[in-house]
Amino acid sequence: MKTIPLHLLKDKTNLGLHLKYFEKGEVFIDDEVTSVAHRDDHYIFFLLESGSGSVMIDFVDVPLPEKSLYYILPTQVHQRIQNQKANGWFIAVDTALLPPECRSIFENTLILQQPYLLSKDNFQQFQKLLGLLLLKYREDNTSQFYLMSVHSLLQSFIAIAASCYSVDMDTQLIMSRPMQLRSQFKNLLTNEIRKVKSPGAYAAKLNISEAYLSEILKKTTGFPPSYWIQQEVIMEAKRLLYHSELTVKEISHALGYTDHSYFSRLFAKITGVSALTFRKQYRK
């Protein structure tokens, strides 16, 4: 694999939604494709009804317990869910269908999101809602109100999911200006990291001063912008080292570094090992 594949939702559906119920050990139709590490241009939600599973995201094996909700963000590198011992739901959603206030909940953290253990009431609500959504999803889509009804049910699922993840957060803090900027900074990092490395450039894109960006990130995360910029660079480098056949020099250039020796020193300084040593260790 020369580079990490990007899977597009439009290649599967024109509804902005792909929904299915999976059972223990079920082989997915596109198993060979999704078993390889890849990115998606859309959100993915999992709801495990019974048993337990796991999903690998950026070198972290995330366990998914029974009666839990989980989501994968667009562009996060991952492999398909391990569902040998789990029954549950798979929901792929076009990012455009998520209301901004819900996206701010899902994208609110700079660290890896964790599964949310559902209460009995929430679990039953999701079961009924997803069951109804699946029925509508499978109906004849030539009906005048087909898409409206499907998207309305989907919006309800997204809103309830967002409300679950917002429970452990301070609502006023979520809506505060610093938290909004933190979320916007994270989105910029994801999209711009190959071209932009300067804290000042990110601050300019957010229409704030570099000093203010540093202040809010230190306050809300404990670390300055330069730390998160380096973390994003190194994570992207790790992805390419592990999942692609690009040379260290090619990866350096792909990440916007013309001096590959500088990039190599940076990688070793932050990770404690050279880029080639990392590749050998993780490919054992």
Residue 75 has what pLDDT? 79
Full 3-state SS string of the chain: CCCCCEECHHHCCCCCEEEEEECCCCCCCCHHHHCCCEEECCEEEEEEEEECEEEEECCEEEEECCCEEEEECCCCCECCCECCCEEEEEEEECHHHCCHHHHHHHCCCCCCCCCEECCHHHHHHHHHHHHHHHHHHCCCCCCCCHHHHHHHHHHHHHHHHHHHHHCCCCHHHHCCHHHHHHHHHHHHHHHHCCCCCCHHHHHHHCCCCHHHHHHHHHHHHCCCHHHHHHHHHHHHHHHHHHHCCCCHHHHHHHCCCCCHHHHHHHHHHHHCCCHHHHHHHHCC
- For each of the domains in the chain, give its residue range(s) and CATH number, in order of start: 6-169 (2.60.120.280), 176-282 (1.10.10.60)
Q: What average pLDDT score do residues 266-271 get?
A: 91
pLDDT tens by residue, 125-156: 999 999 999 999 998 777 888 888 999 999 99
User: What pTM, to 2 d.p., does this model score?
Assistant: 0.71
Residue 203 has what pLDDT? 94
Q: What average pLDDT score do residues 73-77 get?
A: 85
- Asked whether the predicted pLDDT for residue 2 surpasses 70, the reply is no
pLDDT tens by residue, 97-123: 888 788 878 887 767 889 999 999 999
Residue 202 has what pLDDT? 95
121 versus 37: the higher-pLDDT residue is: 121
**What whole-number percentage of the chain has pLDDT above 90?**
46
171 falls in which pLDDT band (50, 70, 90)?
very low
180 falls in which pLDDT band (50, 70, 90)?
confident
34 versus 142: the higher-pLDDT residue is: 142
